[in-house]
Amino acid sequence: MVITEEADRIGDRLAEIRSDFHKRPELAFQEEWTSRRIAEILRETGLDEVHTGIAQTGVVGVLRGNSPGKTFALRADMDALPIQEENDVPYKSQNDGMMHACGHDVHITAALGAAMILSKLKDTINGNVKFIFQPAEEVAGGAKIMVEEGVLEKPPKVDAIIAMHVWPGIDEGTIGVKPGPAMAAMDKFEIIVRAPGGHGAMPHLTSDPVVAAAQIINSLQTVVSRSIDPIQPVVFSVCMIEGGHAFNIIPEEVRMVGTARTLDEGVKAKAIERVKDILKGIGEAMGVECQFNYMDGCPALINDPEMIGLIERAGTAVVGDENILELDPTMGGEDFTHFARSVPGAMFCLGVRNAEAGFTSPVHRSTFDVSNRVLATGTAMMAQAALMYLT
């Protein structure tokens, strides 16, 4: 069997599956219908085992090959985003305020398609394939819980894992790879500025946390531009600010919340210390108290070089060597890193951009969409990589 030909042959079925999931998006840890439907399809496909209720709504399927061997895992995330879809398409979201705006419907479909193909090749597989359908990627929670619940350790124990992400930055028919640091750690920080407050007409009688907050926001940009090596990617973004309740009252408190993104632990530690220095200096200079809370989120995704090599070999078979692109790291985050830190793992990017057909929207937007043409490519990539690893 030629994997690409089989993926093309089941193309209509893949489109149907993707349409069903896109119509019925569900938010993190609420993927009840999604997980039931995934389990139904896996059972119809003839997998040896199908387990549900993992990390609340996660699903795991196991395909046992013809002879003993290693276990290769394919991971797909399942949750949608709290976005109202604006696309006017037959498969438009039917769940108000929810949308698969990050391509997880495509990820699910590709993993299910791979299960369909690999189940027909069971007699040629030396080892096992474990299909992991993970909840709650968008809140960076599902992968960690699945790992803690032993999804990689419970028999058959996983030896290696890969995942896929749709990527509107590269064209349909291409595959993007990045060995080593590929996606950033996604952390959260909170800064609370406190002062006595007072009358807006008499600022000299008080300290002003609003003005101090403005100074802090501007000064935070110097952490990136003046405190960190310019070749080291760092992002410090204040994304929310709240304080005050009247036009003529200087408030007693201003709260800022944001995200920090880094690829290197040493750079992260230096950036945190520099923020603390800035807050101390501004606090003393402006007579305010600055509280800094830093919450570690998901660590940076470090792609295993050998797994990237496997993906490149699979990509050569599926799209041709000339269509494999090495990408720069992105400061976006992915909780797949919890899997990839437990066993050798890597994530690749599936090109979905098609300017002529109008598929150009970035992810996490109400207009995001992809052509069903990419489903066969994603399916073939997942199946080909598994087959190469286990034969």
pLDDT, tens digit, 9 for 90 and up, residues 200-239: 999 999 999 999 999 999 999 999 888 888 889 999 999 9
Do residues 353 and 168 lie in contact, with contact meaning Cβ atoms separated by under 8 Å? Answer: yes
* N-term to C-term CA, the chain: 14
Span 53-71, pLDDT tens digits = 999 999 999 999 989 999 9
Alpha-carbon distance 347 to 163, whole Å? 5
Alpha-carbon distance 236 to 103, whole Å? 26
- Per the annotation, the verdict on 328 as an active-site residue is no
* Ramachandran angles phi, psi of 109, nearest 5°: -60, -45
Instruction: Please name the amino acid found at residue 113.
Output: G
Determine the pLDDT at residue 70.
98
Q: Which of the residues 6, 77, 79, 172 is marked catalytic?
A: 79
Q: At a CB cut-off of 8 Å and minimum separation 6, what does 249 contact? A: 197, 198, 199, 200
Q: Per-residue pLDDT for 154 more than 80?
A: yes
What does pLDDT average to over the chain?
Answer: 96
Task: Give the pair of three-digit tokens for residue 104.
Answer: 């997880």
Do residues 108 and 135 lie in contact, with contact meaning Cβ atoms separated by under 8 Å? Answer: no
Task: Give the pair of three-digit tokens for residue 224.
Answer: 């990136």
Do residues 178 and 329 lie in contact, with contact meaning Cβ atoms separated by under 8 Å? Answer: yes
Do residues 144 and 77 lie in contact, with contact meaning Cβ atoms separated by under 8 Å? Answer: no
Determine the pLDDT at residue 74.
98
Residue range 256-272: mean pLDDT, rounded? 95
Q: What percent of the chain has pLDDT over 90?
A: 96
Closest by Cα among 218, 220, 46 to 131? 46
Q: What percent of the chain has pLDDT over 70?
A: 100
Residue range 167-195: mean pLDDT, rounded? 97
Determine the pLDDT at residue 231.
87
* Domains of the chain, residue spans: 3-183+300-390, 185-298
Determine the pLDDT at residue 227.
87
Alpha-carbon distance 24 to 96, whole Å? 10
Span 27-47, pLDDT tens digits = 999 999 999 999 999 999 999
Q: Which of the residues 77, 105, 137, 264 is marked catalytic?
A: 137
pTM of the entire structure?
0.94
**Is it true that domain 3-183+300-390 has CATH number 3.40.190.150?**
no
146-155's contacts with Cβ under 8 Å and 24+ in sequence apart are 146/54, 146/55, 146/58, 146/338, 146/339, 147/338, 147/339, 147/342, 149/54, 149/55, 151/54, 151/55, 151/58, 151/60, 152/73, 152/339, 152/342, 152/343
Exposure of 212 by Cβ count < 10 A (0-12 exposed, 13-18 middle, 19+ buried)?
buried
Span 322-367, pLDDT tens digits = 999 999 999 999 999 999 999 999 999 999 999 999 999 999 999 9
Closest by Cα among 159, 109, 165 to 133? 109
Q: Per-residue pLDDT for 1 more than 80?
A: no
Instruction: Please name the amino acid found at residue 248.
Output: N
185-298 to CATH, choices 3.40.50.720, 3.30.70.360, 1.10.15.40, 2.60.120.620: 3.30.70.360
Residue range 270-295: mean pLDDT, rounded? 97
Q: Do 185-298 and 3-183+300-390 fall under one CATH topology?
A: no
Q: Per-residue pLDDT for 379 more than 90?
A: yes
Residue range 358-379: mean pLDDT, rounded? 97
Task: Give the pair of three-digit tokens for residue 160.
Answer: 């290696």
- Per the annotation, the verdict on 137 as an active-site residue is yes
